[in-house]
Chains A and B, each alone.
Chain A
Amino acid sequence: MKRATSPALQIAGRTFGSRLLLGSGGFTRMEALADAIGASQTELVTVAMRRIDPAAEGSLLDVITAQGVAVLPNTAGCFTARDAVLTAQLGREALGTEWVKLEVIGDERTLLPDAPELLAAAEQLVDDGFVVLPYTSDDPVLARRLEDVGCAAVMPLGSPIGSGQGIANPANLTLIVEAAGVPVILDAGVGTASDAALAMELGCDAVLCASAISRATDPVAMAHAIRHAVIAGALARDAGRIPRRTHARASSPLAGMPEFAE
């Protein structure tokens, strides 16, 4: 039977079979990360750039590439456009990719994006030839501005990074999705599978999860669950949900009711 499904996810001309991006942060064991990559069936895994520790054993890069997936360097921890641009350039040099998940944080307690610095960094990186995927707030105007400067996608938060609060403002997320001409990837805030499903039902093109999977009691099982939730949410969106109603609407016919003797 033919199903009316959305075409595959495309970002900057690259096609992805999976609509789930995985953050590699928070896994306590490399084996768990490898297994979660497999269970999630993701094709894109984020990494951070940090000072080298010559004594450290094992290569994260080897673990990720052994799973046959691509790495997406981020600029996590940067508070200024200057630092984020330089970190992105180091990621490009180290990993040979022009893709970057751009993060410019404005506050340590909330880890919310710093809008002016984020926009400035995005503009500089686009000019420098990067494929920029910015982690942004759920502000529809900022999302539009990021698209306007040439970002390849926008990645609004559902709620603060690692908070597991889900999608705090579904109305704003809907506004972002409605207006966006580039893919919308829900980033941050997912706590469990239903949050990921809701993001897709609201029209997001993909979901990025890190803590929801890596810090779950059983990360591999949660990777399975969220993979299915993303698929289910996308299918449900394409299927077209019924409108919400104030009152009940019977699904069994009213006519033909038997009348029982007293």
Chain B
Amino acid sequence: MIFVNGKPIDAGAEPTIRDVLLGLDIDPETAGIAVAVDAEVARRGSWQTRTLADGAHVEIVRAVQGG
């Protein structure tokens, strides 16, 4: 079990960040998105290889309207 944007998700054993994105129907090539794992930025170049431990907290963000 990992947590993505606050929600628990069963993403199988040792999913990569890319696996998680694809599982949420998010194209990893989408411009303007960023990922943090356990309160640290996970660079785009690591998404394909970096695996997530059980209990990992993942935040996926993009730009929205804001002052």
Contacts and interface: CB of A to CB of B under 8 A. Distances in A.
Nearest to A208: B67
A24 B65 contact: yes
Nearest to B27: A54
Contacts of B41: 86, 89-90, 93
Given A50-B66, A93-B43, 6 more contacts: A27-B65, A48-B67, A54-B24, A60-B63, A61-B32, A93-B34
Interface residues of B, number: 25
Interface in A52-76: 52, 54, 59-61, 71, 73-74, 76
Contacts of B34: 49, 90-91, 93-94
Contact of A210 (B44, B64, B67): B67
Interface residues of A, number: 35
A46 interface: yes
A59 B67 contact: no
Contact of A74 (B44, B61, B67): B67
Contacts of B5: 51-52
Interface of B: 5-6, 24-26, 31-36, 39-41, 43-44, 59-67
Contacts of A74: 66-67
Interface of A: 23-27, 33, 46-52, 54, 59-61, 71, 73-74, 76, 82, 86, 89-91, 93-95, 161-162, 188, 208, 210-211
Contact of B66 (A48, A90, A208): A48
Contact of A86 (B33, B39, B44, B64): B39
18 contacts: A25-B67, A47-B65, A47-B66, A48-B65, A49-B34, A49-B61, A51-B6, A54-B25, A59-B32, A60-B63, A60-B64, A61-B63, A74-B66, A86-B39, A86-B41, A90-B59, A93-B41, A211-B67
